Amino acid sequence: MCGIAGIARIDGNALPEEAGGLLEALACTLAHRGPDDRRLLLDGPVGMAFNRLSLVNPEDGAQPLVSADGNIVLIVNGEVYNHRELAAGLPSGTRLSTGSDCEVLLYLYQRDGLRFLDRVNGMFAFVLWDRARGVLLFGRDRFGIKPLYYHRDNERIVFASEIKALFADGTTPRRIDWPRALGEYDMNATPGFVHGRVTTWFEDIQLVAPGTILEIRLQGGATTEHRYWELPGPDSDSDMTDEDYVETFRDLLAASVADCATADTELGLFLSGGIDSAAVAALAPGRSLQTFTALTPGTVLNGDARGGHRTAELLGLRNHQVLIGSDRVPSPQEWRDLVWLAETPMAGPEVFYKFEMHRFARQNFPGIKGMLLGAAADEINGGYIPNFAGEGGDWDDFESNLRDLHRRQALERSPKLGHWWEHEGVPLLNDAAVDPASPYAGDHYAGYFAWQYRTLEQYNVWHEDRTAAGNGVEARVPFLDHRLVELVARIPARRRAALLWDKRIVRDAMKGILPEEIRTRPKGYFFYGEGARHTNRSLTRMLAQDGAALLEQALSSDNARRYLNADGLRTTLDRLTRSPSTGSIELLLRIVNLGLLEGMTAQLPPPPSQAAVRPEPVELIVEDWERGAPQIIARVVTEPEIDQDMVYALADNVLLATVPAQPDSWFLVVDGSFEYEISAADDAGWLALLRTLDGSLTLAEALAKTDGRLNDVAELLQEAMAVGVLTAQPGTEEPAQR
């Protein structure tokens, strides 16, 4: 993992001498991506900056790389895993002058031209300057694992691994693309068949597409795009059996893990309780990995952290439980730094947790420069398919829901056709009529697969890159090997249900390799499910800090005030503050992030390598999970303590009321506002307790009076205490008889 950047004239002129200062500024902004070495090149129309993180051949791999004849200059961020195999096939007499895995690209290009990436296996983003032809090439790997952004005008083009580096150039615009950002499906959490280029969130900032080479002529700027790889479709003629697919998948995954585990420095592994990271851990060849598991309220309450601990125990690996408890509330400055590092409004709980894990690993094991991940397995291998089928659904339900989703989106583009599907509840047209031009009209799963491919670039590999890079670490993703993905994409429609439901192909491939309790364990989450309310509460507290400082800063720019309803945002935050369990913080957080990004572009923050000091990350040592479970939960999940000898009562600004027209509905009225609704039928025990807690009885006495059980109301009681609806004071001893 490195940081590459530079500038090139595309009007036929040479760069001025002062361009060296810009190269230095670009490199400084990207210092976090490559702390081991920095090199600058300024020559004629092209300037290049390179910051190196050395994982392969640390002593001999500095860049830019230059061909033997001096005609080709190259900078690369990433890894070419099959470089030895590729080098062996070069023309006789070719001599590589460094130990860099990327040097082979110089000579592949000289031999094969624009076809030079066809057989390359790796993750990379590169800039290649062909001096003899006067062209600049930009390229990325097949999944966009490594980023490369650029801005161009009629005279020059500026490029960098991260957007923030482009802003070091005074002529690059610094404006959020509000209309596109607000309409992005991933941003507003709308499910949909989304294809095509991802958004960079900023106006006039371009991102080189995955699997693509851009060729830019330095005399005039003429640009052509060469697509060297595309996601394949199903192979309906395949005669492979299910067993053949599983066996091939196992072999390809093992080969990919071996590739990703190639390094001359230490590697670590993020280990959850699921099968994906466990598969990587089991297949990593001959390496004693340090593994890291997120210890959050979600992972503790859903058993995922225990699963990570157990997996490491069964595989004989050292496991570090990184404590990110419900009381770990980022400060406003911490959050601004994280959003600036990630440079996406999609920064949320997962991004925060991943960053903290990388930070712990790097600070405590400075020799670790690469981190193996189980990322992308769900998107590619069917991990989310049961979610789309609905609770208790099957493959037919999944396909039916995809068909409905495809039709709904098509009708958004052709709304006048909608009434044909709404005629007395009976459709009068076939789906082909509404979207005949769609390449996925006859295969909705292929459309779903292409959508997941795009989501990987827009969200997954984006944040995995930044959270790792922000700590001087390279993220490695074995499940994003193009051979593996091509195999899955080509599975015929008739075999998908057997192989892809709940990642069956992965689970079957790991038979005999992983212990059964790990191989069959259901997927867990960082923060969804039972732990979501704790995450919501922590991040709501973060937004509410210092008089809602982050929200007010997000509203500070003219564009933010133009697009955002300030009163609506403040009301939403106020409601979440009063009741963090009643909604998700994520959508509000994304809007705030967008405003923060725009504000920070007006006055650029320091580079991530100079960000403010954060609290020291903490490890919770776990020897025996079963014996220590109560203490683990108490340390991670901070809840108001319930004492049955205390006297509880509604706070002075809270009133319990009902409306005569709705006798089944009761409300907790806070400061005159109806904040919480309670159903007399569904929450009878909770309602009875609230009506009894008048400040005269202890909790034990109130429960006895209502025939209630503490276990039935404990969570609601803790939530009411956390948001200040209930207050408590010690009970008094019974007065003496007179």
3-227 and 646-730 in the same fold: no
- Three-state DSSP at 670 gives strand
Q: What is the pLDDT of residues 500-546, one digit of tens each?
A: 999 999 999 999 999 999 999 987 777 777 788 889 889 999 999 99
Output the pLDDT for position 582.
Answer: 58
- Measure the CA angle with vertex 263, ends 260 and 267; round to 5°: 75
How many CA atoms within 13 Å lie on the side-chain side of 387?
10
Output the pLDDT for position 162.
Answer: 98
- Three-state DSSP at 721 gives helix
Output the pLDDT for position 290.
Answer: 95
In the structure encoding, which two tokens stand for residue 187, read together?
A: 């941003």
Architecture, CATH, for domain 251-383+445-529? 3-Layer(aba) Sandwich (3.40)
Nearest CA to 144 out of 410, 642, 482 is that of 482
The H or E element spanning position 301 is helix 297-301
In the structure encoding, which two tokens stand for residue 531, read together?
A: 């732990």
Q: Radius of gyration of the chain from Cα atoms?
A: 28
In the structure encoding, which two tokens stand for residue 46, read together?
A: 């092209």
Higher-pLDDT residue of 93, 11: 11
Phi, psi of 126 (to 5 degrees): -140, 160
For the chain, give the number of residues: 738
Q: What is the pLDDT of residues 184-209, one digit of tens each?
A: 988 988 888 888 899 999 999 999 99
Average pLDDT over residues 550-571: 96
In the structure encoding, which two tokens stand for residue 588, read together?
A: 């509000």
Return d(Cα 370, Cα 259) in angstroms, integer: 13
Average pLDDT over residues 261-275: 92
Cis peptide before 366 (omega within 30 of 0): no
Q: What pLDDT band is residue 735 in, cutting at 50, 70 and 90? A: very low
**Dihedral angle of Cα 342, 346, 350, 352, to the nearest 10 degrees:** 40
Return d(Cα 134, Cα 561) in angstroms, integer: 46
Return the domain boundaries, the chain.
Answer: 3-227, 251-383+445-529, 646-730
Bridge-based pairing of strands 223-227 and 212-217 is antiparallel
Bridge-based pairing of strands 290-295 and 266-270 is parallel
Kindly list the catalytic residues.
2
User: What is the distance, to the nearest Å, from the Cα of residue 376 to the centroid of all Cα atoms in its chain?
Assistant: 10
Q: In what order do the strands lie in the sheet with 673-679?
A: 654-659, 662-670, 673-679
pLDDT beyond 90 at 53: no
Burial environment of residue 367 by CB neighbours within 10 A (0 to 12, 13 to 18, 19 or more): exposed
Output the pLDDT for position 737.
Answer: 38
User: What mean pLDDT value characterizes the chain?
Assistant: 92
Q: CATH top-level class for 646-730?
A: alpha beta
502 touches 385 (CB < 8 A)? yes
Output the pLDDT for position 580.
Answer: 65
In the structure encoding, which two tokens stand for residue 447, read together?
A: 């459309």
Helix 275-283 / helix 304-315 crossing angle, nearest 10 deg: 20
In the structure encoding, which two tokens stand for residue 696, read together?
A: 């005269």
Output the pLDDT for position 308.
Answer: 96
Phi, psi of 380 (to 5 degrees): -85, -35
Cβ density class 409-442: b for 16+ within 10 Å, e for less = bbbeeeeeeeeebeeeeeeeeebeebbeebebbe
Return d(Cα 287, Cα 267) in angstroms, integer: 9
pLDDT beyond 70 at 271: yes
In the structure encoding, which two tokens stand for residue 12, read together?
A: 């036929």
Q: Tell me the fold of 3-227.
A: Glutamine Phosphoribosylpyrophosphate, subunit 1, domain 1 (3.60.20)
What DSSP state is assigned to residue 89?
A: T
Nearest CA to 283 out of 484, 122, 77 is that of 484
Average pLDDT over residues 259-275: 92
Residue type, 178: W
